[in-house]
Amino acid sequence: MKKILLIVHQQTSDPGLVGQILIKNGYELDIRCPAIEQELPATMHNHEAVVIFGGPMSANDSETLPFIRTELDWIPIALDSSKPFFGICLGAQLLARVLGASVSPHPKEMTEIGYFPILPADTSVNYFDVPRYVYHWHGEGFELPRSAQLLAKGEVFESQAYRYGETAYGVQFHPEITKEMIDKWTTLGAHMLTLPGVQSREEQMQKYSLYGGESESWLEGFLCHWLNTAKVKELH
């Protein structure tokens, strides 16, 4: 069975819709958590692709959290393989750092938690015809790497999605989110819901019912394109 590496940052992390869609399409999930000292593979030979998920830590914690340094040092292995790479939130920020860009809090100390609108940055890239509203949970954003193409932008944190090369993508938002995950995050992270501009638990649930289906449909199409891009490249 085709195997995809999923890198998570907490023992209880859930790959959500990303994991569900990949399983539905016949992939085996190899889930590893460097934060609890699970090793990353020395090569990508045994994996078709890699997804790096989010987490409550910062991409700048490389001096205080050894596993962040480990991931920053490992990402070039994935990129050099030319196999599909997908970074979500923290994963996108780690990729941005590897590519020489900065990751930092909003200059006005704003936080995005809940559903917020994003727009395509390049309307000619039809596979990134993003949903109108996507789920966010972050207080830091990434600078667009010089070598990357901006794919989607937002109002609070402008850089919302980018592509590096042919097969590496990073998104600031959480397309993997499910209703159960919103319930869990807003319970465990209830203290975050008092920050300025953050949507209440009730509003997040309401907006999930409005936008969750649209976001899931986009994710299915994107993952299919993301995985097939590498296959097309191998044929040439």
In the numeric block, the tokens 């109002």 are attached to 155
User: Looking at residues 22-43, what average pLDDT do you find?
Assistant: 96
The reported pLDDT for the residue numbered 236 is 39
Answer yes or no: are the C-beta atoms of 169 and 145 closer than 8 Å.
Answer: no
pLDDT of residue 143: 95
Q: Looking at residues 17-39, what average pLDDT do you find? A: 96
- What pLDDT, in 10s, does the model give residues 206-236? 999 999 999 999 999 999 999 986 554 444 3
Q: Classify the phi-psi angles of 108: left when phi > 0, otherwise alpha if psi is within -120 to 50, otherwise beta.
A: alpha
State the CB neighbour count (10 A cutoff) for residue 195.
13
Contacts of 208 (CB under 8 A, 6+ apart): 115, 135, 177, 179, 182
Q: Note the pLDDT of residue 78.
A: 97
- C-beta of residue 227 within 8 angstroms of C-beta of residue 49: yes
CB 49 within 8 A of CB 4: yes
In this prediction, residues 5-26 reach a mean pLDDT of 95
Please give the average per-residue pLDDT across 134-161, as a whole number.
94
For residue 124, the model assigns a pLDDT of 74
Check residue 232 and give its pLDDT. Answer: 43
Beta bridge partners of 103: 142
Q: Give the model's pLDDT for residue 129.
A: 79
The region that residue 100 occupies, defined by phi over 0 for left and psi between -120 and 50 for alpha, beta otherwise, is left
Q: Are strands 85-88 and 168-171 parallel, antiparallel or unpaired?
A: parallel
Q: What DSSP element (H or E) covers 17?
A: helix 16-24
Instruction: Give me the residue label for tokens 């989010």.
Output: 54
Percent of the chain scoring above 90 in pLDDT: 86
pTM of the shown model: 0.94
User: Which of these ranges, 24-28, 32-36, 165-169, 227-231, has the smallest mean pLDDT?
Assistant: 227-231
- For the stretch 93-112, pLDDT in tens is 999 999 999 999 998 888 99
pLDDT at 235: 40
- Torsion over CA: 72, 115, 182, 179 (sign): negative
Q: Specify whether domain 2-235 bears CATH 3.40.50.880.
A: yes
Q: Of 21-25, 53-57, 119-123, 179-183, give the lowest mean pLDDT range.
A: 119-123
